[in-house]
Structure 1
Amino acid sequence: MKLLSVNLGRPKAVPYTDNPEGVTGIDKRPVEGPVRAAAPGPKGVGGSGLAGDAVCKREHHGGDEQAVYAVAREDLDAWERELGRQLPNGTFGENLTTEGIDVSGALIGERWRIGSEVVLEVSSGRIPCVTFQGHMGERQWVRRFTRSGGSGAYLRVIEPGEIRAGDPVEIVHRPDHDVTAALLFRAVTTERVLLPRLLAAGDALHSEVRAWALKYVEEQGA
């Protein structure tokens, strides 16, 4: 298991984003050399967990619970075959492109050590948006991505430090539940009946997702 690339984005003006400022950082490209990872602060205030990476719409992106986004190279390869075009590392707006890890199958609260310093913790799956669809330029992309169930994973920065392409990735903690990033993704998009199952992830669950799950349980019990 290893890190194939670290991908950073700069603010870019595009016609397809729903950001009122008209810019997005979704167009991420691999960079050479070490990149510092650190907890960026609360959502709405904190940006990316990686130094030099732009988060342009902090209302919905960035912050401690969505500090870093990871996608498996294996998933990009599968989409290449389906779409019939090349998808370089960073195409999905991911900060980390990995090899040998079932990213969408990672457990909420699972911790990865990357290199010798950094520890990240899985917090949720990625929910696709109109900016993602515009960036990909594919018809009904949000629907297709959602139907695939391969959400990738957002991660918190637990131990800061530097990472770089080629670093080994080690799973150093796997919690005792079955709530994966993919299961969470299904629960918050297409199968709301799964929301109560997410609560088994405890404090590692993304705070907004926990609120949605608790609200669902309350409504069903009313």
Structure 2
Amino acid sequence: MTSTLALSLDALLTGTPALLAPDVLSAMGKTPRTGPVRIGWLGLEGDMVADPINHGGHDKAVHLVPQDHYPWWREAIGDHPLLHDPGAFGENLATRGATERELCLGDRFVLGSSLLEISHGRQPCSKLNARFGRPNVLAKAVESGRCGLYLRVIREGEARAGDVLTLTERPHPDWPIHRVFELLVGGRYKSDPAGVAALARMSVLAGAWRSRAEKLAR
């Protein structure tokens, strides 16, 4: 039986590439959208990436960050203007109701008329430090695993702020994204070799992270 889970949606956000700092180009700065937003195979209409080699694509179509993390971030790095509103971490979906500890690989959610599937966690980069103008944001993100996650689009559609993400399928309840992140990014793979080997065989896991699992399992 599928667990009953619904996430509230504070905002849908899109952005275009801009300089965060000298020589640091990113589309992490995103703006909340009003009205219905089309969700296509590659993400929200009007959203762009600055680095198409490492960002974008079907497995990274939609980036979700739980707004439930924001109070923790204010404690961890101090108050910051970016933490006053959704979008601090470049998310497309600003949600409430569950975090990476409760959201699982392969979870499917109906959002508006679209259907989305969790494909993997977010691996943060140093652009987070440039975004906040502080040197420790990346390290805090990796240490805590509060990085958000990516979803692929299973059915195109449209949605708007105030809609609800409703869980419809949970095929892998033993694989919360926090666990996947800890094994493949957080350095815990040696403590759970069987888990890493299992991840390497899971087709629902995004290709880049499945390749990482294959390497770590050898």
- Please give the TM-score of this superposition, normalised by the length of structure 2: 0.87
Cα deviation, residue 36, structure 1: 0.8
- The residue correspondences of 1:45-60 to structure 2 (distance < 5 A) are 49-60=43-54
Alignment of 1:111-126 (within 5 A): 111-115=108-112, 117-126=113-122
Structure 2 unaligned runs (5+)? 1-6
Distance 1:60 1:147, change over 3 A: same
Show the 5 A alignment for 1:1-222: 1-15=7-21, 22-40=24-42, 49-82=43-76, 83-86=78-81, 87=83, 88-115=85-112, 117-189=113-185, 190-193=187-190, 194=192, 196-198=194-196, 199-200=198-199, 202-218=202-218
Instruction: After superposition, give the CA deviation of every residue in 1:67-117 in whole Å (9 maximum; x if it has no partner).
Output: 1000111112321243223411011100000011224531110011112x1
Q: Distance in 2 between matches of 1:24 and 1:71?
A: 17
Distance 1:104 1:177 in 2: 11
Secondary structure (helix, strand or coil) at the match of 1:216 reads helix
Q: Which has the higher strand share?
A: 2
* Shift in alpha-carbon separation, 1:95–1:72, aligned structure 2, 3 A: same
Contact 2:106 2:172 in 1 (8 A): no
The structural deviation recorded for 1:15 is 2.5
Distance (Å, rounded) in 2 between the aligned partners of 1:111 and 1:184: 17
Cα deviation code 1:146-175 (max 9, x no counterpart): 111222110001111111100011100011
Change (3 A) 1:195 1:141: farther
Q: What is the rounded CA distance, in whole Å, between the counterparts of 1:215 and 1:166 in structure 2?
A: 41
Whose relative contact order is higher, 1 or 2, with alpha carbons under 8 Å and at least 6 apart?
A: 2
Assess, with a 3 A threshold, how the Cα gap between structure 1 residues 142 and 202 changes in structure 2: closer, same or farther. same
Please give the TM-score of this superposition, normalised by the length of structure 1.
Answer: 0.85
Q: Distance in 1 between matches of 2:92 and 2:59?
A: 14
SS state at 1:179 partner: coil
Contact 1:124 1:206 survives alignment (8 Å): yes
Q: Against the structure 1 CA distance between its residues 178 and 84, is the aligned structure 2 distance closer, same or farther, given a 3 Å change threshold?
A: same
